[in-house]
Amino acid sequence: MKTANVEPIRSQAVIPAVLASASASVITGTALVATRYVVVQANGLTIAAMRYVIAAVCLLPMVAVWHKFNLERRHLFPILGLGVLYFGLFPWCISAAMLYTTASEGAIALACTPAVTLLLGCLSGSELLSAPKAFGVAFALLGALVGFGAGGFNFGGHALTGNLLMAVATVLGAVYAVFSKPYLAKYPPLTVTAVAMGAGAVALAAAWSAGGLTVGVPRFTGGGWLAVLYIGAAGGALSFFLYAWALGRTTPTATMILIPLNPIAALITGAFCLGEPLSKELFAGLALVIIGIALVVKRPAARSAVAALELHAP
């Protein structure tokens, strides 16, 4: 009785979910480079606010057309709260970090999200901890430290500030991945993502109205406006919808299986478009992160399905 539904869960669009996550990771990596390009023309709060206002404008009409906002009242406020964290504070941390660190280093920090997701999932009871996964967490975190290099821990430099902001963003990403899972499984991912993103956009717009106006209306170049539109429409609406769609069809950790594509895309795009240096520390750190993620997500589907069924079986 407890394992009767394991096979449907195991075969529940795993490959499409992985492909969606992979696409989202590539888009997010290139969006980091676009953010680093345009943030010098404004500030972190302005870029974050514009990103998610654009993203929310893209997603909310789609919900009205394809779905309904039929969320239970007891679930609405947790989703709104998660939205403020993930679509409000999370993008501000990233945008602000890009003033101090490179897109490549920032992407490597975000690539540790599966490891942090696993730790949080184990504490919440939604994931099972094993020796390979524990080693995976260690490898991923070590990879981030190596990727930052000595300059990333210079207490007298700006890189440390940027890397700490990216670390906070990584934790926020893990919080959303773990605690949004029940809502993404119960409701259409588009609905949950749009509502959460709308909450984050409102929070960012309110913060910008309170403090951002002091720096004036941003004056972007033509390339800057294109970067903002790409960050909002692709890096905001499309990438987070793909992540949400994948989260609704597999475990939170498994959704992040191809997140190393994030720093790879950022490394390549940052080097070609912004002339960011490609150091041996970056490649060594990326290799460790990839090894760590491979260990963290080893055979996640079957084990997580069985565990979930046993946990909730009557």
Q: What is the mean pLDDT of residues 183-201?
A: 85
Residue range 168-183: mean pLDDT, rounded: 88
pTM metric for this prediction: 0.69
* Range with lowest mean pLDDT among 15-29, 37-51, 179-193, 270-284: 270-284
Q: What is the pLDDT of residue 229?
A: 93
- Asked if 4 and 312 touch (Cβ cutoff 8 Å), the reply is no
Q: What confidence tens digit (pLDDT) does each residue in 103-141 have? A: 777 777 777 777 788 788 888 776 666 777 777 777 776
Bigger pLDDT: 107 or 148? 107
Percent of the chain whose pLDDT exceeds 90: 7
Residue in 94, 230, 260 with CA at minimum distance from that of residue 163: 94
Q: How confident is the model at residue 77 (pLDDT cuts 50, 70, 90)?
A: very high
How far apart, in Å, are the Cα atoms of 294 and each of 34, 140, 228, 282, 298? 28, 10, 33, 18, 6
Q: Is the pLDDT of residue 79 over 90?
A: yes
Segment 183-190 mean pLDDT: 82
**pLDDT value of position 309:** 25
Residue 82: what pLDDT? Answer: 93
* Residue-wise pLDDT tens digits, 80-95: 999 999 888 988 888 8
* Other beta carbons less than 10 A from residue 65's beta carbon: 7
pLDDT value, residue 225: 92
pLDDT band at 305 (very low <50, low <70, confident <90, very high): very low
In this predicted structure, what is the pLDDT of residue 136?
72
Q: 308: which DSSP letter?
A: H
pLDDT, the chain, mean: 75
The stretch 12-32 carries a mean pLDDT of 78
d(CA 196, CA 301) in angstroms, rounded, equals 26
3-state helix, strand, coil in the chain (%, to 5): 80, 0, 20
